[in-house]
Amino acid sequence: MLLDCTPLIADNRPRLSYGMCLWDADGDGQTEIFVTGFGCANRLLKWHQGQLIDVIPAELRDADRLSIGVAAGDCDGDGQEELYVLNTDTFAGPKQVPDRLFDRTAAGWHDCFEEPRHRSLRNLCAGRSVAVLDRLGQGRYGFVVANYGQAVRLYEMTDAGQLHDAARAALIARVINGRSLLAVPWFREDRTDLFIGAEHGPNALYRNEGDGTFREVALCTGMADEEEHARGVAAFDADGDGRLDLVLGNWDGPQRLWIRQRQGAVRDKASPAWAMPTLNRNVVVADFDNDGYEEVFFHNFGEANRLFAWRQGRWASVDVGDAEEMTLFGTGAVVGDIDNDGRLELLLSHGENEEQPLTLYCGPANEHYWLRVQPLTRFAAPARGALVRISAQGRVQTRVIDAGSGYLCQMEPVAHFGLGNVTQVDWLEVVWPGGATVRHHQPALCRTHRIVFPGIP
């Protein structure tokens, strides 16, 4: 199904790359792709004149650091997303190279952790993933860091620009062998909950209590999975009932398809083909062929990638096409409409065992209709964690604006809907963290709709 478009990446020399995120770095309304460099310069890929070129500002290159994870979010309420870059120079415990929290000002990019008032807050623990979380539903995000063998961090910023670690106040400062993160409205549509995938111990699922605190409920919902080693995780409506389900990739263990039951509990409905153990790193859920049904892509390390599609009422393994990658060591995966043609592209990073190039894939050319929705916060920044639905011909599709895609990465802050041959959408609905809701009727097709926060002109 997936076709090789890698030649569209300019200067794609082999390197050690891990996490990536899609993010409007320069405020021009176009999404760029930040690619971390492990012992080499970070990259910022921008679509320009038919190819992806590197436009990384000097302040963000960090060629001497060891970057593996990245996420963007508006933590100061200025309408622009800050960028958290996770550096890791050891497998577990204390580390020497601190993380970065880049903020863009009129003078350029600067690292908030380098300010004297913030240096004591620097994360000097071996982290694995970072995501953003609007725990209060106010349009301002904290950066959640899943550390390995150390406590979870939650960096938030006050109106005065003061950073602080809110993990203890939020009751999520648990020591865990954290690997992956997913911030998603699981229990209630108006609150963002937090899943932390772990290895050598149980996963954690924190239910948002609505007062800024969370309660850990992984065991009672069936998500602890304490015998496995979590990696990629994504939320999507796997059975078409309008509610979110979870796909979890485990490292050399069974891959889960957790279908939602009552009160947020799950049941594993993975078929033998789906559950087959692989060396999984990332899971991507996206409608690559715009037929109106998402596909599930498992990005693996040193073995063939896999793709599942909804066929005749069940999830079936399908030909992954050019993206099989038998000999590449997969580390990161992101999806987005990179060239603005209404079809999604898949960008994969590789490395760890040896230097390898990035790869880029797209779905097959077709005449299917599509619709894209980009909700904005009250500050006009991307509303990561918002729930988006559309209804067409009696069928509802559901998406979540990505706040951090499982392991190391973060997808574009847009809900992409394939429509197949459907020529009219009855309505689209957005539910923001905090509960604000809008509905638009019969939106125009084959375009991106920017949805402003209710009450904002």
Mean pLDDT over residues 385-393, rounded? 97
Q: What is the pLDDT of residues 356-385, one digit of tens each?
A: 999 999 998 899 999 999 999 999 999 999
SS3 label, residue 320: coil
Angle at 77 between CA 75 and CA 82, to 5 degrees: 40
pLDDT above 70 as % of the chain: 100
Q: What is the pLDDT of residues 266-275, one digit of tens each?
A: 999 999 999 9
pLDDT for 263 equals 87
pLDDT for 455 equals 87
Tokens of 190: 């108006």
Average pLDDT, the chain: 96
Q: What is the pLDDT of residues 26-62, one digit of tens each?
A: 999 999 999 999 999 999 999 999 999 999 999 999 9
- Beta strands at 163-165 and 127-133: parallel, antiparallel or unpaired: unpaired
CB 279, CB 303: distance < 8 Å: yes
Phi, psi (deg, nearest 5) at residue 449: -100, 115
Mean pLDDT over residues 400-423, rounded? 96
Q: What is the pLDDT of residues 313-355, one digit of tens each?
A: 999 999 999 999 999 999 999 999 999 999 999 999 999 999 9
Q: What is the pLDDT of residues 154-170, one digit of tens each?
A: 999 999 999 999 999 99
pLDDT band at residue 97 using 50, 70 and 90 as cut-offs: very high
Q: Using CA atoms, how far apart are residues 409 and 416, in angstroms rounded to an integer?
A: 18
pLDDT for 206 equals 98
pLDDT for 106 equals 84
